[in-house]
Amino acid sequence: MVSNMSKKAAAFVPSVATMLPGSLTSQKRSYASSDETFYNPIMSNGADPWMIQHNGVYYFTCTTGNNVTIWKSDSISSLENSLKVVVWSNVNTTFEDIWAPELHYFNNHWYIYFAADVNGDNSTHRMYVLISANSDPLSKYTFIGQVTDPSDQWAIDGTVLSYNNQLYFIWSGWNSTTDKVQRLFIAPMDSPTHISGKRVIISSPTYSWETSGAAINEGPEVLQREGKTYVVYSANASWKNAYCLGMLTLEGTDPLDPASWVKTETPVFQSAGIVYGPGHNSFTKSIDGTEDWIIYHAAKYSGAGWIRSIRAQKFGWNADGTPNFGIPISPDLPVGLPSGEASQRTTYEAEQAATFNTRVVSHTYASGGQVVGHIDYADSYVRFNVNVPVTGSYTMYVRYDNGTGGDSTHNVSVNGDTARIITYPRTGAWTQGNIVTSNVSLKAGSNTITFTKGTGFAEIDCIQIPIHSNLSYGRNGSE
């Protein structure tokens, strides 16, 4: 379906949730089901994700621009409905463009490594580190200073490798101000905050899949298993569909010897289907420790540039011990919850909601095989009846499609209150789904959430409401 007009002209067979034109009304209560799966993205806006599982809890951070924010969650798929704390900001500093923070645990303290520039001048990007007051990842952090080797060149995306009881810092940087090809460097550390030796190049962009958009190696991330050490990194231009993941394998015994690192000749993770430009990832374990998961960002649609969202999927291992990341899972396909996680959301199907002057359309991507479309008129609505256990703020997940080629909106009201606007970025086609989120205030018991015509056109597949409010312990809210 290429346009809303073509949808209106198409043949239409009424479903159980719709009446014939002239009386397009359904008064059904919204059908609800416990959700044992989730759909990507896990965060509708974001880039450069870092996630670590510690003592059965996930801690997450990503690029926010002017601060370092940590999310705490007991579920990978419910990040946007989890406790969120700004642990450090650039207030009273000259720092801007704070990129790709990472959270590491050494000696009963947490260390946050991040890149920042001075007054918005990209050429001044360098790596910096914070230290926590104690073993709580959400405790107060103190700014320690720059993490640099003697060259003090442009540096971003720093991470830490622990190998044979020695720490190493790995980052993306320039050789000099006249050689700005982004390469991967490594240097020894004598503490989590200090580089103790000269840097060494371990990867330069040489293959066409690393250079077609721009010659870039960045976002190095360490992956270790059964005595083997890998560095998975992002290659090519982050604003292009060609952005992908490459991999280095430590074949020798000295990480400071460039000859010890062997590059895989082809990407290990790249665009596929309707997922474009996957990159800048991190790795984590399921709650019970039995599964390996990759967390990454990807463009929201083909050619979206830096308009990105955050995704998650399980990965496995090849017979030779190397990781097998497969291909990026389409946002149209459900993903099983990580092992050890309980269901976190209730799904309400739009085709089972109360509707007026709309039509049900069959789509294979839809969670129930159908969506509600033709929400095209001033009196059109889709009304969900949802139930929650306690009064509070909840993150509502709206699964939709928008094939218009631009943004569309709906007006959304809760229990008849003043409507707010939800914006739906384009999905590339009417047959492709995506997710947006919005915080809603709900009372204990029954609530109505009503979607009405806004600007442009969009179809609704379902909404999902978490089983916990944002203010529940260990979950959402913002401090």
The pair of three-digit structure tokens given for residue 413, joined into one six-digit string: 């009201």
**Active-site residue list:** 48, 218
Residue 155's nearest CA partner among 88, 220, 94 is: 220
Domain of residue 461, CATH code: 2.60.120.260
Q: Are residues 468 and 328 in the same domain?
A: no
Q: Which has the higher per-residue pLDDT, 262 or 473?
A: 262
**Residue-level pLDDT at 34:** 60
Residue 312 has pLDDT above 50, yes or no: yes
Residue type, 37: T
pLDDT at 375 over 90: yes
Domain shared by 308 and 433, yes or no: no
**pLDDT of 22 strictly over 60:** no
Q: Please measure the distance between the N-terminal and C-terminal CA atoms of the chain and give it in whole angstroms.
A: 44
Tokens of 290: 């039995």
Mean pLDDT score, 408-429:
95
Q: Using 50, 70 and 90 to split pLDDT, how confident is the model at 17?
A: very low
Which residue, 364, 379, 390, is CA-closest to 450?
Answer: 379
Kindly tell me if the per-residue pLDDT of 14 is higher than 90: no
Residues 233 and 103 in one domain: yes
Confidence at residue 31, expressed as pLDDT on a 0 to 100 scale = 57
Q: Summarize pLDDT for 93-147 with one digit per residue, the tens.
A: 999 999 999 999 999 999 999 999 999 999 999 999 999 999 999 999 999 999 9
Give the pLDDT confidence of 147-191 residue by residue, as tens digits: 999 999 999 999 999 999 999 999 999 999 999 999 999 999 999
What's the mean pLDDT in 292-298?
A: 99
Residue 467 has a pLDDT of 86
Residue type, 21: P
Report the candidate in 118, 130, 122, 124 with the shortest Cα–Cα distance to residue 70: 130
pLDDT given at position 191 = 98
User: How does residue 26 score in pLDDT terms, banded at 50, 70 and 90?
Assistant: low
Given 296, 320, 336, which residue is the final one in a domain?
336
| Shared domain check, 277 and 415 | no
What is the arithmetic mean of pLDDT over 396-401? Answer: 96
- Residue 469 has a pLDDT of 76
Same-domain check for residues 171 and 308: yes
Do 449 and 393 lie in one domain? The reply is yes
Measured CA to CA, the distance from residue 150 to residue 163 in angstroms comes to 22
What does pLDDT average to over the chain? Answer: 91
Distance CA 350, CA 348 (A): 6
Do residues 379 and 300 share a domain? no
Helix (H, G, I), strand (E, B) or coil at 56: coil
Of 438, 421, 431, nearest in space to 459 by CA: 431
Considering the domain architecture, whether residues 15 and 75 belong to the same structural domain is answered as: no
Q: Is 259 exposed, middle or buried (CB count within 10 Å of its CB: 0-12, 13-18, 19+)? A: exposed
Q: Is 397 within 8 Å of 385 (Cβ atoms)?
A: no
Question: What local confidence, expressed as pLDDT, does residue 5 receive?
Answer: 33
On whether both 255 and 357 belong to a single domain, the answer is no
- Domain shared by 136 and 229, yes or no: yes
Specify whether the CB–CB gap between 55 and 287 falls below 8 A: no
pLDDT of residue 344: 83
Give the model's confidence band at 13: pLDDT under 50 very low, under 70 low, under 90 confident, else very high.
very low
Nearest CA to 251 out of 238, 261, 242 is that of 261
Point out the domain boundary residue: 336, 358, 392.
336
What type of residue sits at position 254? D
Among the three residues 336, 367, 389, which one is the final residue of a domain in this structure?
Answer: 336
Count: domains in the chain = 2
pLDDT over 90 (residue 478): no
Mean pLDDT value of segment 415-429: 94
What is the model's pLDDT at position 19?
35
User: Tokens representing 76?
Assistant: 């990978």
357 and 264 in a common domain: no
State which residues form the domain around 450. Answer: 4-35+344-478
Say if residue 438 is in the same domain as residue 455: yes
The predicted structure's pLDDT at residue 33: 59
Stretch among 199-208, 238-247, 336-345, 470-479 having the lowest mean pLDDT: 470-479
Q: Which of 114-118, 225-229, 428-432 shows the lowest per-residue confidence on average (mean pLDDT)? A: 428-432
- CATH number, residue 139: 2.115.10.20
Distances (CA, A) of 41 to 47, 193, 267, 311, 463: 11, 34, 22, 5, 14
